[in-house]
Amino acid sequence: MVEVIAAANILTDLFLSSAALTGLAIVHGVLQGGRPDDPLTRRFVFALRVAMLLFAGRALIVLTGGAWFRSIVLLAAALIPLAAVIVAEGLLRRHAPVWVKWVIGTGTVGFVLTAFWFGTALDPARLTGLLMFQVVGFAIAGWMIATRDRSSLNMAENQSAGRLAWSLVVLVPLIATDFLLVFIRLPVQMSAIGVLVMCWAALGLARGTASHRAGFAPIVIVVAVGALTGAIISGLAGAGRDGIILGGAISTSAMLVLALWSETRAGHSSARSAGLIAHMAQAPLDSPLAFLRGLQAHPMVAGAVVITPADLSGFDPATLTRIFAASPVLRKSAPPALDPQAADHITHLFNRFGATHILDLGQQPRQLVALAMPALQSSPSTEVELDAVQRMAALIAKGAAGGA
């Protein structure tokens, strides 16, 4: 039984390290995909790489049993206070006081050198000193953020600084538990969970989503649900105290990674919307059709089919006018409630052209554009984008008619 519990502890350590590496890699990719040359991005990327080095070292120790990987972990741990202070400097757009640079610089050099002392002859003094150094480093970073000149930063910068400060409140105690593992009888190192919370805060540096603007409420819910789910499942399975802690840690870290992935996917969706806006800004304005052809590099418009007046010869013009006056963007999923004749025309239009959306270009003689959009690609934001495309095309047609 003791061997099973020990194996569970080791596997959980490996899982948590892998989860932290995954979360850090997600944020690293988001930041590098934005403005990689921005000074704040470079500072944050350095901090992310330091953390990735630490958790990679932990995972390698578990996978290989190689004791020399411990030097990688100690090296990364020695660099963490330096990373925290330079990120705080970047957020606040000001240098740390000279005494801070001396304290952090001296401590970093000293502990980097001791990281390459193999064996445990320097322990527990080395580990105790490293814990104190990390606490001092995070305390200094937190002090710099708490005492910042808020008037010198804009609202987004103040929000990012606040998110980082709150994430430190979660991270520092969890880091301390890694060093005090034996004394507080924890079966696994918990700092990975704090790092994943920090990753959530870091996403706010790349983009200001509604979930981030709402503060930490979403991530608190994710952590609470993850911890309770893992603890309840472990308890029902008859696990003891250590088993419940392990189950809660695994479930929480997995849910945090999923939350980060979901946020990143939402960011990609926003980027696609911005891509359509960029196409709209650069598309030619000679005519509605020229405008739409300029948008065809965008996936949403790439398969568009132009319906010419000849294609509409079998439809009643007056009925079409009533239909598109009621709904310039005709949606198969939500057609306008009109008379039976109009309903028959709408059904015939969608069936004949195999479309899910039909846009009126606002021209006379009437021209339409048919789109076949898979249900999985449709979303409220996509529907708004289609409205914008149709409105722009109609304004171009109106301007052309007025100029004529």
Q: Is the pLDDT of residue 210 over 80?
A: no
More confident residue, 376 or 331: 331
304-347, pLDDT tens digit by residue? 778 888 888 888 888 988 998 898 888 888 888 888 899 999 99
Lowest average pLDDT, out of 83-87, 170-174, 393-397, goes to 393-397
Do residues 260 and 203 touch, judged by C-beta distance below 8 A? yes
Q: Which residues pair with 357 in a beta bridge?
A: 331, 371
167-207, pLDDT tens digit by residue? 787 788 888 887 777 677 788 888 888 888 888 877 765 55
Determine whether 71 is exposed, middle or buried from the number of CB atoms within 10 Å of its CB (0-12, 13-18, 19+): middle
d(CA 141, CA 261): 28
User: What pLDDT does 106 receive?
Assistant: 94
- The structure tokens listed for 69 are 């990987």
Strands (E), 257-343: 305-307, 329-331
244-283, pLDDT tens digit by residue? 888 888 999 999 998 888 877 766 655 555 556 666 666 6
d(CA 42, CA 323): 54
Question: What domains appear along the chain, each with residue ranges and CATH number?
Answer: 2-278 (1.20.1070), 284-403 (no CATH)
d(CA 37, CA 16): 31
Q: Binning pLDDT at 50, 70 and 90, where does residue 213 land?
A: very low
d(CA 298, CA 389): 12
For the whole model, what pTM was predicted?
0.68
d(CA 145, CA 30): 24
